Amino acid sequence: MIVLFSAAIRSWADAQKEAEEARRGLQQQGFKIDLSQFDFSADYQTAIRAAALTNISFPRPIVLLLPCGTESAVVAWKQSRFEEEEGYQNLPSVEQLLVTNQPVLDSACAAILAGPIRFPLKAIHGSAMLLVHLAALRSLSQALAAREIMELREQHYSAAWTNLLALTRLATAWEPEASEISHLVRFNLARTGWKAAWQALQAHNWTEEQLLALQREWEAPDFFKGLPETIAFERASVVHECVLERTAPSPPGPSLKSTLEDVVHSPRLALTDAKYRLDQARYRVTGTYEDERDLLLFFRDRELEFRKAVAAPTWQEMRPLPGVTNTIPFQSQNYSRMRALLNTRQIARSFQLEGRTFLGRAAQTEARRRLVIAALALERYRLAHGSYPNELQSVALDLLKTVPLDFMDGKPLRYRLCDPNAFVLYSVGLDCLDNGGKLSILQNQQRTWPKLDPFDDPNMIWPRAASDAEVQILQFEQIRAKQQMTRALERQASERDEQAEQQRQNKVAELARIYAKGGTPKIPDPKIEGGLLSRVMRNKANTGPALTLDQMLTLRQVTTGKEPDIVTFELPIRYDVLTNIGTVQLLCDSDPREDSPQAEDCKRATNGNCLLAWDTTYDPPGRHFLQAELSIDESLTRPSQRVVDPQELTLRGPLVAFFSTNVLQFFPLGNVYSDKGAFFRARLAQRVGSCSLTLTSPSGEHLRTITSSTTNGIVELNWDLICENGTRYTNESFNSSWTVTFPDPRPEAISSRVNLSPQQGPGVQ
C-alpha cells in the first residue's frame, strides 16, 4: 500500500512538473496560454453601436440568389414575391416583418455606417463566453438583404444602396472575437453581402462614386487575419477547463450503507463502480495535468500550422499543408470529460462548416471577395464605356492595379462575355478544377447534407442575370416539379389510406365475429379504497337497481342534435368519482389485442354521468364497432389502496355495433390554414363523386365557392385566400360547408368550422 501511494505521489508530481514546463516553454516562445492575455473589450461608443445590432428578430430566411439554367440567376427584385427557404411558410410574411422591424433596421444601419464594429465580451469566461450577438447578426443580414430587394423593387435606389452598404460592412468592418464560430458567422455574412451586391448591380443605376465606395469596402478586409488567434484562444480555454476540473469540489460518493448493499446484491457492479470512482479521482489529481500538458502542445502545433497556412498566397499552395483539409483530433491518454467535450465540439463544428474545413470556408470567402471586387470594376467599366469589356485585362488597365486573380489557383479569374450587357465571372473553387463556370448541382440535391450552395460548387460563380423567358421556363419547371411531387405524395397517401382501411376492415371483421357470438363478457369488479369498483363509481342520482360493472360500461347513444357529425354515448358512471380513479375512453374499431387504440375522451353530463363524444367525420362511413374502456390509475395498485390484481387496471365493456351515415371523411392533418392559403383533403363515401365547398366568414358573409370531382374518392382543394370580390381574406377563422353529390344521385350537406390561426400553425376545429 505504501509503495502504491508513493508511486501515485511521484506520478502526480511528474505530471504537474511536465505541465508547468510546457506552460513556461510556450510563454517563452510568445504563445498565449492564459485567458487574461486576451482582450475582447470595446470602448463606450463602439459598445453602444454594437448594441443597436442585436435588437432584430427576423426568422425568415430568403433565397437571395436562385439558379436559373446553368449560368444565370433570377433577379429577385423583379419578381412579385420572395423565394423562401422550406419550413418557414407558417411565419409572418417578409413584407410584414420588414414593416414591424423598420425602426430597428434604421437604427442598425446608422450604427453600422458610423464606425467599426466590435462587441464587448469577457474573454475570462473562455469557451463559456456568451456569443448571443452572432444569431442577431445573421438575422440582421437577412433583414437588410430583404429590405434592399424591397427598395429595388420600388425603385428606391438611394435606400437600397444604404441597406447594401450596411449589409456589406457587417462582414468588412466587423472585428470578430477570437472564436471559430464568430469567424464562421462572418464568412456567412460575406456570402450574404456578395449575393446582395449581385442583386444590386443588376439595376445598372449606380454612380461611379457609389461603385467605387463599395469596391473599397470589399478591398479592405483580410478574412485570414485573426484565424491563428482562434487556436490560441481555444488553447487557453481548454487549459482553463483543466484547472476548473482539478480545483472543483469532488462529487459526493455513495453512503457506506448503499455501498455495502451494492456489494451484497451485485459484487460485479460494485467493483465496476469503485473502479470508475478511483479512475475519476486519479484523473482529477494527475490526469488533468497530463491533459493540460498535451493540450498545450497540441494547440501549439495547430497554431503553427494555421500561421503557415494563412501565409500561403493561394489555396492550391495552402491545401497540402497539415490541418488544412483535414481536422486533426486531440488524442488524450485519459478517458475523461475533457476528451468527450472536445469530441462533442468537433461534431458540432462539422455541421457549422457545411462539409468544409475552417480554412476551406475562409478560402471560399477570400475568393468570393475577389469576385465581387472584379464585378464592381466591370460595372464601373460598363458605366464608362457603355458595355462590358471583351477581356478582364481591359478592366485591369483602367480601374484595377492588376488583373483580378483567383485565390484558389493564382490565375486570373475566369471571365466570359455573354453579350454586351451580360457576363459570367467565376473562380475554380476548392477543387481547383475549371468546370467551365456551369451550375451543375440540381435543386433537389440541396435537401441533402451538407447543404451546398450551387454558386460555390464545383466552381464559385458570379452568374449573369436570367432573361424573362428563362425565368418563365424556371417557374414552369418549378410548377411541374411541385405537381409531380404532389402526385407522388398523393399516390403514397392513397396507398397508406388503402392499407389503413384494409387493416380496419380486418379489425371490423374480427369484431363482427366476436359480436355475433352474443352474450355479455364477464368483467372483473376489483376492490379499491371504498369497496367494489362498481359501487364506488355508481352515480346515486340514477334511480333503479344497482348496476354491474359490465352494465356500467355498456354504451347508450343519446341525441344531442349534432348527429351525424358528432355521435354521443352515455355511461352510468359518476364523472366526479371517475376523475379520482382513472379515465374512460371510447374505442372505435379497436383491435382487442392493442394496448393503446385510438380513442375519444370523456366529459361530464348534466346528470353527473359520463359522456363520450365521437367525431364520425374522421372515420370512414359504414359499419363500426364501439367499446368503452376504463383505465384505473396505477397508483391504486399499492397495497394500501387494496387493488386486487394489477392486471385489472384496464377494463373494456361490451361491443356496440354502429352504422355511420356520413358521406365525407376528413383527415386529422388534412386541413391547413395559414397566411399562405388554406388546404383541404377529404375522402368521399364513394370513389366517384363531386363536391362543392362554400366558404363563409364567421359572420356569415360569403367568401368563395370551390368545386371539384374525383374518381378515386379523394378530394383535395386549395384556396389562395382570394375572395370572389378580389380581396384577400385576413380573418383568423372561417366556416366551410360541403355539399357532396354522387351519381346515384345522393346529395348531402355537411358543415364543419375551420378556426385556424396563421401564427399558431395548422389545426382543425
The chain-wide mean pLDDT, for the chain, equals 84
pLDDT value at 593 more than 90:
no
Q: Minimal CA–CA distance to 681: which of 734, 621, 754? A: 754
| Distance separating alpha carbons of residues 527 and 505, to the nearest angstrom | 37
Give 696: exposed, middle or buried? Use CB within 10 Å, 0-12, 13-18, 19+.
middle
Alpha helices in 202-328, H assignment, sequence order: 208-219, 227-247, 256-265, 267-282, 288-310, 315-318
Write the DSSP assignment of 335-374 as a string of letters.
-SHHHHHHHHHHHHHHHHTTTS-HHHHHHHHHHHHHHHHH
User: CB under 8 Å to 116, separation ≥6 — which residues?
Assistant: 46, 173, 174, 175
pLDDT value at 366 more than 70:
yes
Most confident of 118-132, 279-293, 477-491, 631-645: 118-132
> pLDDT band at residue 1, thresholds of 50, 70 and 90?
very low
In the sheet that holds 734-741, the strands lie side by side as 702-710, 689-696, 734-741, 748-754
Share of the chain above pLDDT 70, in %: 85
| Distance separating alpha carbons of residues 358 and 324, to the nearest angstrom | 8
SS3 content of the chain, % helix, strand, coil (to 5): 45, 20, 35
| Distance separating alpha carbons of residues 686 and 695, to the nearest angstrom | 23
**Joined grid coordinates for residue 645:** 390484481
> pLDDT band at residue 478, thresholds of 50, 70 and 90?
confident
Q: Which CATH class is domain 522-660?
A: mainly beta
pLDDT tens-digit map of 117-132: 999 999 999 988 999 9
Write the DSSP assignment of 502-542 as a string of letters.
HHHHHHHHHHHHHHHT-S-------EETTEEHHHHTB-TTS
Q: Cα 387 to chain center, whole Å?
A: 44
pLDDT value at 571 more than 80:
yes
Confirm if 19 and 293 have CB atoms less than 8 A apart: yes
| Distance separating alpha carbons of residues 253 and 255, to the nearest angstrom | 7
Higher-confidence position of 220 and 501? 220
pLDDT value for 352 = 63
Q: Count CB atoms within 10 A of the CB of residue 503.
A: 12
Q: Do domains 522-660 and 664-754 have the same CATH topology?
A: yes
| Distance separating alpha carbons of residues 289 and 274, to the nearest angstrom | 23
pLDDT value for 745 = 57
Higher-confidence position of 90 and 109? 109
Confirm if 348 and 342 have CB atoms less than 8 A apart: no
| Distance separating alpha carbons of residues 51 and 53, to the nearest angstrom | 5
Higher-confidence position of 398 and 207? 207
Q: Minimal CA–CA distance to 370: which of 421, 415, 339, 320? A: 415
| Fold of the CATH domain 664-754 | Immunoglobulin-like (2.60.40)
Higher-confidence position of 406 and 499? 406
The region of weakest confidence among 69-73, 239-243, 515-519, 658-662 is 515-519
pLDDT tens-digit map of 31-66: 999 999 999 999 999 999 999 999 988 877 888 999
Residue spans per domain, the chain: 2-30+229-352, 39-221, 522-660, 664-754
pLDDT value for 173 = 95
pTM: 0.72
pLDDT value for 163 = 97
